[in-house]
Structure 1
């Protein structure tokens, strides 16, 4: 369903939704609000590839070396990780849905009333295919709604339905690449005192000791049983990203730093300085979904001036 779309390009209160093609000829949906904010969503992987504020400033990191060309997901934006996060078994890294072509869902089931009608949104759909069932033998329907609010906030709502005859389990993440001024100056608040799994130490469980997360080297962690509001403070740009989530108990935090980023073909030189991944996720305890049941995971991204203190952010 496309809301706020007007073929004559006349702006209405809900703003505009447009279907265009990227440089490789793949369909993408462009969402805009009346104040000038925008978001782009590729039908390849249902991946948000851009989120811009009212001034046209990009808020998501995308590597200059990425190709946006199937069958590989773009390096940046917000790829969807399902039915696994990480690399295990016979499945592709972070699962396969980020590498599949989705379709626009013209008749999605309704969402609860708290999903505002004053948003410009697109609904996308992916159903399990015969090829995928060879490596992950479960039938599912995955619906994703991407919404851009009148305030410029970005929301993603994922709904996974089990249309299988038996239960299945999965892990999940919104692999969110935030664009930052300098990773060495970034603070993440809201995860202090939590336990995390350190992927650089064979997933050893460690308790966070700092009053905030800062970066001096590679970080690859999964924070467990986290609060539903996380703040990423960018002092140089004088703004704070607020990450609100529902149904996503864990938070993955990642920056590859110098050595690992140099080994990645789709990562530009020194681009690690300008990104951090902070992912709302379900990792430690996978979702066990019974036949006919549906799981929902919500992510809401906004930004405020960095002069806001943690208490006012509700952390």
Structure 2
């Protein structure tokens, strides 16, 4: 039977990469702002109406409220999109026995670790964004249907709004940039997130797995570690812009960021045999189109 896949949020950086990947797996229906099947994630009736109309057997929710600082003021909207909507999606998915795939974030942690976070480590978000994303995870889990939640971090790409594109833009406007150097993470290319998602779906839809036995949270990031300053240096290696490392305290923002955002991907490797490359290798491919080894081992 041909998969019918509902992709929510096709204009975001992950969803943009997901569309061509998912099209190899079935009939993809896009629920973006410009489509006839637009879902307003802030409205429960909108969510239920489109899912009941389309009856997909796979729902991929790549939409979210991602304005981390703005969320400190728009708490209700962030809570509706990030916290409440995923639970409604899970309810509708369970009603029609569909698989729900949802994306979450390293911001569910407080960043006090010094070793990579696992999926079972205690959660303790520092701000509204992380709190609402955690609420979305918990809402999906409470429904207990067929679901996969992929926690990722430091996502970048050539589409949408992200650190890479911001650095490239600012480098054209300024001779000097001050970049935070005391936050640690693993930059993750949105295309690799999409490709890994497609690989997981392909495995699940074969007889290899009973979906219920593998439902849960999986970390999904590139390997290696770096900081924002070193990441910016790698992005702007061919630029003449002078980069200055600073501490988080020197760049205050409305929302606190985790100081340490490295996630362990061992569960993903053990379950699906999928491991993303190191961040610096992936960045080189993203920027230069170099050949990358298959991300599945």
Give TM-score scaled by structure 2 length: 0.30
Structure having the higher strand fraction is 1
- Report 1 or 2 for greater relative contact order, CA contacts < 8 Å, sequence distance ≥ 6: 2
Structure having the higher helix fraction is 2
